[in-house]
Protein backbone atom coordinates (compact mmCIF):
# COMPACT_ATOMS: atom_id res chain seq x y z
CA UNK A 1 0.00 0.00 0.00
CA UNK A 2 1.39 3.38 -0.99
CA UNK A 3 2.15 5.80 1.88
CA UNK A 4 -0.27 8.67 2.43
CA UNK A 5 0.49 12.37 2.78
CA UNK A 6 -1.99 15.21 3.04
CA UNK A 7 -2.00 18.74 1.65
CA UNK A 8 -4.36 21.20 3.35
CA UNK A 9 -4.94 24.29 1.22
CA UNK A 10 -5.51 27.22 3.58
CA UNK A 11 -4.13 30.29 1.83
CA UNK A 12 -7.45 31.84 0.81
CA UNK A 13 -8.15 35.24 2.34
CA UNK A 14 -11.90 34.74 2.39
CA UNK A 15 -12.86 38.20 1.14
CA UNK A 16 -16.56 37.34 1.34
CA UNK A 17 -16.17 36.85 5.11
CA UNK A 18 -15.59 40.63 5.30
CA UNK A 19 -13.23 40.12 8.19
CA UNK A 20 -9.59 40.80 9.04
CA UNK A 21 -9.39 37.25 10.39
CA UNK A 22 -8.29 34.64 7.81
CA UNK A 23 -11.22 32.50 6.76
CA UNK A 24 -9.77 29.25 8.10
CA UNK A 25 -9.43 30.75 11.60
CA UNK A 26 -13.12 31.56 11.96
CA UNK A 27 -14.64 29.31 14.64
CA UNK A 28 -17.01 26.44 14.12
CA UNK A 29 -18.26 24.83 17.34
CA UNK A 30 -15.67 26.77 19.30
CA UNK A 31 -12.52 25.97 17.33
CA UNK A 32 -11.07 27.24 14.03
CA UNK A 33 -12.24 25.70 10.79
CA UNK A 34 -8.67 24.65 10.09
CA UNK A 35 -8.47 22.84 13.44
CA UNK A 36 -11.38 20.62 12.41
CA UNK A 37 -9.68 19.79 9.11
CA UNK A 38 -6.34 19.14 10.79
CA UNK A 39 -7.91 16.81 13.37
CA UNK A 40 -9.54 14.76 10.60
CA UNK A 41 -6.28 14.67 8.66
CA UNK A 42 -4.40 13.41 11.72
CA UNK A 43 -7.00 10.68 12.22
CA UNK A 44 -5.93 9.22 8.85
CA UNK A 45 -2.38 8.67 10.21
CA UNK A 46 -0.50 10.12 7.22
CA UNK A 47 3.27 10.20 7.15
CA UNK A 48 3.20 13.98 6.58
CA UNK A 49 0.74 16.89 6.55
CA UNK A 50 1.48 20.14 4.74
CA UNK A 51 -0.57 23.29 5.33
CA UNK A 52 -0.41 25.92 2.59
CA UNK A 53 -0.70 29.45 4.00
CA UNK A 54 -0.87 32.88 2.43
CA UNK A 55 1.43 35.82 2.96
CA UNK A 56 1.03 37.50 6.33
CA UNK A 57 -1.34 34.85 7.71
CA UNK A 58 -1.03 34.05 11.44
CA UNK A 59 -1.65 30.34 10.90
CA UNK A 60 1.80 29.19 12.00
CA UNK A 61 1.43 31.09 15.25
CA UNK A 62 -2.04 29.72 15.89
CA UNK A 63 -0.93 26.13 15.17
CA UNK A 64 2.62 26.40 16.47
CA UNK A 65 2.49 23.02 18.22
CA UNK A 66 1.07 21.07 15.29
CA UNK A 67 3.17 18.32 13.72
CA UNK A 68 2.96 19.70 10.19
CA UNK A 69 5.16 21.19 7.50
CA UNK A 70 4.33 24.57 6.06
CA UNK A 71 4.33 25.98 2.54
CA UNK A 72 3.60 29.54 1.48
CA UNK A 73 1.64 30.54 -1.60
CA UNK A 74 2.68 34.04 -2.65
CA UNK A 75 0.93 35.46 -4.57
CA UNK A 76 -2.37 33.54 -4.45
CA UNK A 77 -2.88 32.03 -7.90
CA UNK A 78 -5.53 29.39 -7.39
CA UNK A 79 -5.89 25.92 -5.97
CA UNK A 80 -3.67 24.25 -8.56
CA UNK A 81 -0.80 26.56 -7.70
CA UNK A 82 -1.45 25.99 -3.97
CA UNK A 83 -1.06 22.25 -4.41
CA UNK A 84 2.19 22.84 -6.33
CA UNK A 85 3.48 24.71 -3.29
CA UNK A 86 2.50 21.83 -1.02
CA UNK A 87 4.09 19.15 -3.20
CA UNK A 88 7.38 21.03 -3.08
CA UNK A 89 7.40 20.47 0.71
CA UNK A 90 6.20 16.85 0.70
CA UNK A 91 7.81 13.55 -0.32
CA UNK A 92 7.63 12.92 -4.05
CA UNK A 93 6.22 9.38 -3.86
CA UNK A 94 3.12 7.80 -2.39
CA UNK A 95 -0.41 9.18 -2.55
CA UNK A 96 -1.42 12.76 -1.76
CA UNK A 97 -4.85 13.67 -0.39
CA UNK A 98 -5.97 17.27 -0.93
CA UNK A 99 -8.15 18.92 1.71
CA UNK A 100 -9.32 22.50 2.15
CA UNK A 101 -8.87 24.49 5.35
CA UNK A 102 -12.38 25.94 5.27
CA UNK A 103 -14.20 22.66 4.53
CA UNK A 104 -14.29 21.26 8.04
CA UNK A 105 -16.72 18.37 8.34
CA UNK A 106 -15.63 15.60 5.98
CA UNK A 107 -15.62 12.29 7.88
CA UNK A 108 -12.42 10.30 8.22
CA UNK A 109 -14.26 7.17 7.04
CA UNK A 110 -15.31 8.91 3.83
CA UNK A 111 -11.80 10.20 3.19
CA UNK A 112 -10.37 6.71 3.66
CA UNK A 113 -12.53 5.58 0.72
CA UNK A 114 -11.18 8.45 -1.38
CA UNK A 115 -7.60 7.52 -0.47
CA UNK A 116 -8.12 3.80 -1.11
CA UNK A 117 -9.18 4.46 -4.71
CA UNK A 118 -6.10 6.64 -5.26
CA UNK A 119 -3.87 3.91 -3.83
CA UNK A 120 -5.21 1.67 -6.60
CA UNK A 121 -3.95 4.20 -9.17
CA UNK A 122 -7.05 6.36 -9.79
CA UNK A 123 -7.58 10.08 -9.57
CA UNK A 124 -10.09 9.89 -6.73
CA UNK A 125 -12.71 12.61 -6.19
CA UNK A 126 -15.24 13.30 -3.44
CA UNK A 127 -18.53 14.50 -4.91
CA UNK A 128 -21.99 15.36 -3.61
CA UNK A 129 -25.39 16.09 -5.11
CA UNK A 130 -26.80 19.50 -4.18
CA UNK A 131 -30.23 20.96 -4.78
CA UNK A 132 -28.61 24.37 -5.09
CA UNK A 133 -25.21 24.02 -6.75
CA UNK A 134 -24.57 27.75 -7.15
CA UNK A 135 -20.84 28.46 -7.02
CA UNK A 136 -19.68 24.84 -7.19
CA UNK A 137 -17.73 23.10 -9.96
CA UNK A 138 -19.95 20.64 -11.86
CA UNK A 139 -19.01 17.02 -12.48
CA UNK A 140 -19.37 16.49 -16.24
CA UNK A 141 -19.73 12.83 -17.23
CA UNK A 142 -19.63 10.99 -20.54
CA UNK A 143 -22.63 9.06 -21.80
CA UNK A 144 -21.27 5.88 -20.18
CA UNK A 145 -21.04 7.58 -16.77
CA UNK A 146 -17.31 8.11 -16.70
CA UNK A 147 -16.05 11.48 -15.44
CA UNK A 148 -14.91 13.71 -18.29
CA UNK A 149 -14.13 16.97 -16.48
CA UNK A 150 -14.94 19.38 -13.67
CA UNK A 151 -16.23 22.73 -14.93
CA UNK A 152 -16.14 25.69 -12.56
CA UNK A 153 -19.46 27.50 -12.13
CA UNK A 154 -18.17 30.70 -13.74
CA UNK A 155 -17.07 28.79 -16.84
CA UNK A 156 -20.04 26.42 -17.10
CA UNK A 157 -22.60 26.54 -19.89
CA UNK A 158 -26.29 26.77 -18.95
CA UNK A 159 -26.61 23.02 -19.57
CA UNK A 160 -23.64 22.31 -17.31
CA UNK A 161 -24.98 24.63 -14.62
CA UNK A 162 -28.08 22.41 -14.49
CA UNK A 163 -25.93 19.50 -13.27
CA UNK A 164 -26.53 18.75 -9.57
CA UNK A 165 -23.45 16.60 -8.91
CA UNK A 166 -20.64 18.87 -7.80
CA UNK A 167 -17.01 18.56 -6.90
CA UNK A 168 -16.20 19.14 -3.24
CA UNK A 169 -12.55 19.86 -4.06
CA UNK A 170 -11.34 16.91 -2.02
CA UNK A 171 -9.27 14.59 -4.17
CA UNK A 172 -6.40 12.11 -4.00
CA UNK A 173 -3.98 10.68 -6.53
CA UNK A 174 -0.49 9.24 -6.82
CA UNK A 175 1.85 12.12 -6.06
CA UNK A 176 3.85 11.73 -9.29
CA UNK A 177 0.63 11.99 -11.30
CA UNK A 178 -0.39 15.15 -9.46
CA UNK A 179 2.99 16.71 -10.22
CA UNK A 180 2.74 15.81 -13.91
CA UNK A 181 -0.77 17.20 -14.33
CA UNK A 182 -0.06 20.39 -12.37
CA UNK A 183 2.84 21.15 -14.69
CA UNK A 184 0.45 21.04 -17.64
CA UNK A 185 -2.45 23.25 -16.47
CA UNK A 186 -2.77 26.93 -17.33
CA UNK A 187 -4.76 29.93 -16.10
CA UNK A 188 -6.75 30.74 -19.23
CA UNK A 189 -10.13 30.96 -17.51
CA UNK A 190 -12.59 33.51 -16.13
CA UNK A 191 -10.73 33.73 -12.82
CA UNK A 192 -7.22 33.91 -14.25
CA UNK A 193 -6.18 31.19 -11.80
CA UNK A 194 -4.68 27.72 -11.92
CA UNK A 195 -7.64 25.51 -11.15
CA UNK A 196 -6.88 22.19 -9.50
CA UNK A 197 -10.00 20.82 -11.17
CA UNK A 198 -8.36 21.17 -14.60
CA UNK A 199 -6.32 18.05 -13.87
CA UNK A 200 -9.41 15.87 -14.29
CA UNK A 201 -9.42 16.42 -18.05
CA UNK A 202 -5.70 15.67 -18.13
CA UNK A 203 -6.24 12.41 -16.24
CA UNK A 204 -8.92 11.44 -18.76
CA UNK A 205 -6.51 12.29 -21.59
CA UNK A 206 -3.87 10.07 -20.01
CA UNK A 207 -6.30 7.19 -19.64
CA UNK A 208 -6.16 7.31 -15.85
CA UNK A 209 -9.33 6.16 -14.14
CA UNK A 210 -11.27 8.96 -12.44
CA UNK A 211 -13.09 7.43 -9.48
CA UNK A 212 -15.71 9.17 -7.37
CA UNK A 213 -16.86 8.72 -3.80
CA UNK A 214 -20.21 10.20 -2.86
CA UNK A 215 -20.33 12.06 0.45
CA UNK A 216 -22.67 10.40 2.94
CA UNK A 217 -24.35 13.76 3.65
CA UNK A 218 -24.34 17.27 2.30
CA UNK A 219 -22.91 18.47 5.62
CA UNK A 220 -19.56 16.75 5.19
CA UNK A 221 -19.12 18.31 1.76
CA UNK A 222 -19.95 21.91 2.62
CA UNK A 223 -17.32 24.61 2.84
CA UNK A 224 -17.29 28.15 4.18
CA UNK A 225 -16.97 31.21 1.97
CA UNK A 226 -19.14 33.71 3.86
CA UNK A 227 -20.54 34.44 7.29
CA UNK A 228 -23.84 33.09 6.01
CA UNK A 229 -22.15 29.79 5.09
CA UNK A 230 -20.51 29.62 8.50
CA UNK A 231 -23.78 30.23 10.33
CA UNK A 232 -25.55 27.54 8.30
CA UNK A 233 -22.75 25.05 8.91
CA UNK A 234 -22.79 25.80 12.64
CA UNK A 235 -26.48 24.97 12.80
CA UNK A 236 -25.98 21.76 10.83
CA UNK A 237 -23.11 20.75 13.11
CA UNK A 238 -25.07 21.53 16.27
CA UNK A 239 -28.12 19.66 15.03
CA UNK A 240 -25.92 16.62 14.49
CA UNK A 241 -24.61 16.94 18.06
CA UNK A 242 -28.17 17.24 19.36
CA UNK A 243 -29.30 14.18 17.41
CA UNK A 244 -26.42 12.15 18.85
CA UNK A 245 -27.39 13.22 22.37
CA UNK A 246 -31.03 12.33 21.76
CA UNK A 247 -30.01 8.93 20.41
CA UNK A 248 -27.97 8.42 23.60
CA UNK A 249 -31.06 9.07 25.74
CA UNK A 250 -30.47 12.69 26.74
CA UNK A 251 -33.65 14.74 27.12
CA UNK A 252 -33.28 18.03 25.23
CA UNK A 253 -36.02 20.60 25.66
CA UNK A 254 -35.31 21.90 22.15
CA UNK A 255 -32.70 20.20 19.92
CA UNK A 256 -32.39 23.42 17.92
CA UNK A 257 -31.24 25.38 20.97
CA UNK A 258 -28.10 23.71 22.28
CA UNK A 259 -24.46 24.37 21.36
CA UNK A 260 -21.73 21.80 21.96
CA UNK A 261 -18.34 23.42 21.38
CA UNK A 262 -16.19 20.50 22.42
CA UNK A 263 -17.28 17.15 23.88
CA UNK A 264 -20.32 16.48 26.04
CA UNK A 265 -20.60 13.07 27.71
CA UNK A 266 -23.86 12.29 29.51
CA UNK A 267 -25.05 9.51 31.80
CA UNK A 268 -28.59 8.15 32.01
CA UNK A 269 -31.65 10.38 32.36
CA UNK A 270 -29.82 13.67 31.85
CA UNK A 271 -32.06 16.64 31.08
CA UNK A 272 -30.91 19.83 29.36
CA UNK A 273 -33.15 22.87 28.95
CA UNK A 274 -32.96 25.45 26.16
CA UNK A 275 -30.08 27.70 25.11
CA UNK A 276 -27.30 25.90 26.98
CA UNK A 277 -23.68 26.07 25.78
CA UNK A 278 -21.07 23.39 26.52
CA UNK A 279 -17.42 24.14 25.81
CA UNK A 280 -14.26 22.07 26.17
CA UNK A 281 -14.82 18.72 27.88
CA UNK A 282 -18.02 18.44 29.91
CA UNK A 283 -19.25 15.33 31.69
CA UNK A 284 -22.74 15.09 33.19
CA UNK A 285 -23.52 12.14 35.47
CA UNK A 286 -26.78 10.24 35.78
CA UNK A 287 -29.91 12.30 36.39
CA UNK A 288 -28.15 15.65 36.11
CA UNK A 289 -30.47 18.51 35.23
CA UNK A 290 -29.17 21.62 33.48
CA UNK A 291 -31.54 24.56 33.47
CA UNK A 292 -32.08 27.06 30.69
CA UNK A 293 -29.40 29.51 29.52
CA UNK A 294 -26.47 27.87 31.32
CA UNK A 295 -22.88 27.86 30.07
CA UNK A 296 -20.49 25.09 31.13
CA UNK A 297 -16.82 24.77 30.18
CA UNK A 298 -14.46 21.94 31.16
CA UNK A 299 -16.73 20.72 33.95
CA UNK A 300 -17.54 17.37 35.51
CA UNK A 301 -20.89 17.08 37.30
CA UNK A 302 -21.73 14.03 39.40
CA UNK A 303 -25.08 12.24 39.58
CA UNK A 304 -28.27 13.93 40.68
CA UNK A 305 -27.00 17.51 40.61
CA UNK A 306 -29.12 20.38 39.36
CA UNK A 307 -27.60 23.40 37.62
CA UNK A 308 -30.32 26.03 37.76
CA UNK A 309 -30.90 28.56 34.95
CA UNK A 310 -28.46 31.33 33.99
CA UNK A 311 -25.46 29.74 35.70
CA UNK A 312 -21.87 29.89 34.44
CA UNK A 313 -19.61 26.99 35.46
CA UNK A 314 -16.05 26.65 34.16
CA UNK A 315 -13.02 24.49 34.94
CA UNK A 316 -14.68 23.02 38.01
CA UNK A 317 -15.72 19.73 39.60
CA UNK A 318 -19.26 19.46 40.95
CA UNK A 319 -20.21 16.61 43.29
CA UNK A 320 -23.37 14.54 43.49
CA UNK A 321 -26.77 15.86 44.59
CA UNK A 322 -25.61 19.47 44.50
CA UNK A 323 -27.76 22.51 43.75
CA UNK A 324 -26.11 25.35 41.82
CA UNK A 325 -27.84 28.59 40.86
CA UNK A 326 -29.81 30.21 39.48
CA UNK A 327 -27.47 33.00 38.40
CA UNK A 328 -24.43 31.35 40.00
CA UNK A 329 -20.88 31.73 38.78
CA UNK A 330 -18.49 28.86 39.48
CA UNK A 331 -15.02 29.92 38.41
CA UNK A 332 -11.87 27.88 37.61
CA UNK A 333 -10.31 25.77 40.33
CA UNK A 334 -13.54 25.19 42.26
CA UNK A 335 -14.42 21.80 43.70
CA UNK A 336 -17.84 21.21 45.24
CA UNK A 337 -18.30 18.07 47.33
CA UNK A 338 -21.60 16.16 47.47
CA UNK A 339 -24.85 17.86 48.51
CA UNK A 340 -23.45 21.39 48.34
CA UNK A 341 -25.87 24.25 47.72
CA UNK A 342 -24.68 27.31 45.79
CA UNK A 343 -27.47 29.82 45.39
CA UNK A 344 -28.43 32.86 43.39
CA UNK A 345 -25.82 35.53 42.64
CA UNK A 346 -23.05 33.58 44.35
CA UNK A 347 -19.52 33.50 42.94
CA UNK A 348 -17.03 30.78 43.89
CA UNK A 349 -13.42 30.95 42.70
CA UNK A 350 -10.51 28.53 43.28
CA UNK A 351 -12.18 27.13 46.38
CA UNK A 352 -13.23 23.79 47.85
CA UNK A 353 -16.64 23.49 49.46
CA UNK A 354 -17.22 20.51 51.76
CA UNK A 355 -20.18 18.15 51.94
CA UNK A 356 -23.60 19.60 52.76
CA UNK A 357 -22.30 23.16 53.01
CA UNK A 358 -24.50 26.00 51.78
CA UNK A 359 -23.62 29.33 50.19
CA UNK A 360 -27.02 30.43 49.10
CA UNK A 361 -27.23 34.18 48.54
CA UNK A 362 -25.26 37.13 47.15
CA UNK A 363 -21.84 35.93 48.28
CA UNK A 364 -18.25 35.79 47.02
CA UNK A 365 -15.97 32.96 48.12
CA UNK A 366 -12.48 33.04 46.61
CA UNK A 367 -9.25 31.18 47.40
CA UNK A 368 -10.94 29.41 50.29
CA UNK A 369 -11.17 25.97 51.84
CA UNK A 370 -14.66 25.49 53.28
CA UNK A 371 -15.37 22.43 55.41
CA UNK A 372 -18.45 20.27 55.86
CA UNK A 373 -21.84 21.44 57.11
CA UNK A 374 -20.95 25.13 56.84
CA UNK A 375 -23.61 27.79 56.34
CA UNK A 376 -22.46 31.04 54.75
CA UNK A 377 -24.94 33.88 55.15
CA UNK A 378 -26.07 36.31 52.48
CA UNK A 379 -23.68 39.05 51.47
CA UNK A 380 -20.54 37.40 52.83
CA UNK A 381 -17.22 38.23 51.16
CA UNK A 382 -13.84 36.57 51.43
CA UNK A 383 -11.44 39.49 51.05
CA UNK A 384 -8.68 37.50 49.37
CA UNK A 385 -6.68 40.16 47.47
CA UNK A 386 -4.54 42.79 49.13
CA UNK A 387 -3.66 44.57 45.90
CA UNK A 388 -0.52 42.53 45.30
CA UNK A 389 -1.18 38.91 46.31
CA UNK A 390 -4.03 36.47 46.88
CA UNK A 391 -4.50 34.97 50.36
CA UNK A 392 -6.35 31.90 51.62
CA UNK A 393 -9.36 31.70 53.88
CA UNK A 394 -9.98 28.49 55.83
CA UNK A 395 -13.47 27.80 57.17
CA UNK A 396 -13.55 24.59 59.18
CA UNK A 397 -16.42 22.12 59.62
CA UNK A 398 -19.71 23.18 61.16
CA UNK A 399 -19.13 26.94 60.97
CA UNK A 400 -22.09 29.34 60.80
CA UNK A 401 -21.33 32.69 59.20
CA UNK A 402 -23.89 35.47 59.57
CA UNK A 403 -24.97 37.77 56.78
CA UNK A 404 -22.96 40.75 55.53
CA UNK A 405 -19.68 39.42 56.90
CA UNK A 406 -16.19 40.16 55.59
CA UNK A 407 -13.45 37.57 56.08
CA UNK A 408 -10.11 39.28 55.56
CA UNK A 409 -7.57 36.70 54.40
CA UNK A 410 -5.36 35.13 55.46
CA UNK A 411 -7.69 33.97 58.19
CA UNK A 412 -9.01 30.74 59.72
CA UNK A 413 -12.47 30.24 61.17
CA UNK A 414 -12.27 27.42 63.71
CA UNK A 415 -14.49 24.34 63.77
CA UNK A 416 -18.02 25.00 64.97
CA UNK A 417 -17.50 28.77 65.25
CA UNK A 418 -20.29 31.29 64.74
CA UNK A 419 -19.62 34.66 63.12
CA UNK A 420 -22.18 37.32 63.94
CA UNK A 421 -23.93 39.20 61.18
CA UNK A 422 -22.09 42.24 59.90
CA UNK A 423 -18.75 41.20 61.40
CA UNK A 424 -15.39 41.99 59.82
CA UNK A 425 -13.02 39.15 60.72
CA UNK A 426 -9.34 40.02 60.35
CA UNK A 427 -7.94 37.64 62.97
CA UNK A 428 -8.43 33.89 63.37
CA UNK A 429 -11.78 33.05 64.98
CA UNK A 430 -11.59 30.40 67.72
CA UNK A 431 -13.60 27.19 67.41
CA UNK A 432 -16.98 26.73 69.10
CA UNK A 433 -17.18 30.47 69.91
CA UNK A 434 -19.18 33.48 68.78
CA UNK A 435 -17.07 36.11 67.06
CA UNK A 436 -18.52 39.54 66.37
CA UNK A 437 -17.61 43.19 66.28
CA UNK A 438 -18.97 45.23 69.19
CA UNK A 439 -21.75 47.54 68.02
CA UNK A 440 -24.07 50.04 69.61
CA UNK A 441 -27.60 50.58 68.36
CA UNK A 442 -28.99 54.08 68.91
CA UNK A 443 -32.62 55.23 68.55
CA UNK A 444 -33.37 58.99 68.38
CA UNK A 445 -36.97 59.91 69.03
CA UNK A 446 -36.36 63.58 68.19
CA UNK A 447 -35.18 62.83 64.64
CA UNK A 448 -37.40 63.96 61.77
CA UNK A 449 -37.28 62.43 58.30
CA UNK A 450 -36.55 65.02 55.61
CA UNK A 451 -39.51 65.92 53.42
CA UNK A 452 -39.66 67.14 49.87
CA UNK A 453 -40.43 70.84 49.63
Cα 403 to chain centroid, rounded: 40
The β-bridge relationship of strands 27-28 and 31-32 is antiparallel
341 among known catalytic residues: no
How many other β-carbons are positioned within 10 Å of the β-carbon of residue 452?
Answer: 3
Backbone angles phi, psi at 299, to 5 degrees: -130, 140
Is 76 buried (19+), middle (13-18) or exposed (0-12) by CB count in 10 A? middle
Is 148 buried (19+), middle (13-18) or exposed (0-12) by CB count in 10 A? middle
Helix (H, G, I), strand (E, B) or coil at 411: strand
Task: Tell me the helix, strand and coil percentages in the chain, rounded to 5.
Answer: 20, 35, 45
* Residue 150: C-alpha distances to residues 111, 178, 199, 240, 380 (Å): 19, 16, 9, 30, 69
Judge contact between 164 and 131, C-beta under 8 A: yes
- What gap in Å lies between CA 212 and CA 124, rounded to an integer? 6
Catalytic residue among 153, 361, 391, 400: 361
User: What residues are labeled active site?
Assistant: 361
Amino acid sequence: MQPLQIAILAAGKGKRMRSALPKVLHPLAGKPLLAHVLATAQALNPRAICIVEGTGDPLRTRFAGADVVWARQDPPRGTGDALRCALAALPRDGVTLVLFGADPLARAATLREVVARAQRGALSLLTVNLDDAEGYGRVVRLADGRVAAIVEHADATPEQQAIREVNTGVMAAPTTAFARWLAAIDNRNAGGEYYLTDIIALAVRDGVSVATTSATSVTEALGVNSQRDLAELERRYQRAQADALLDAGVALADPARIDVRGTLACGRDVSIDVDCIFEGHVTLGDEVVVGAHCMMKNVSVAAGTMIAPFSLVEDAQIGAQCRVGPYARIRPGTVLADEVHIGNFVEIKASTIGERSKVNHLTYVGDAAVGRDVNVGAGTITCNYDGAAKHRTVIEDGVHIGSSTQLVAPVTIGRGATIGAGTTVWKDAPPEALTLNAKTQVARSDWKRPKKG
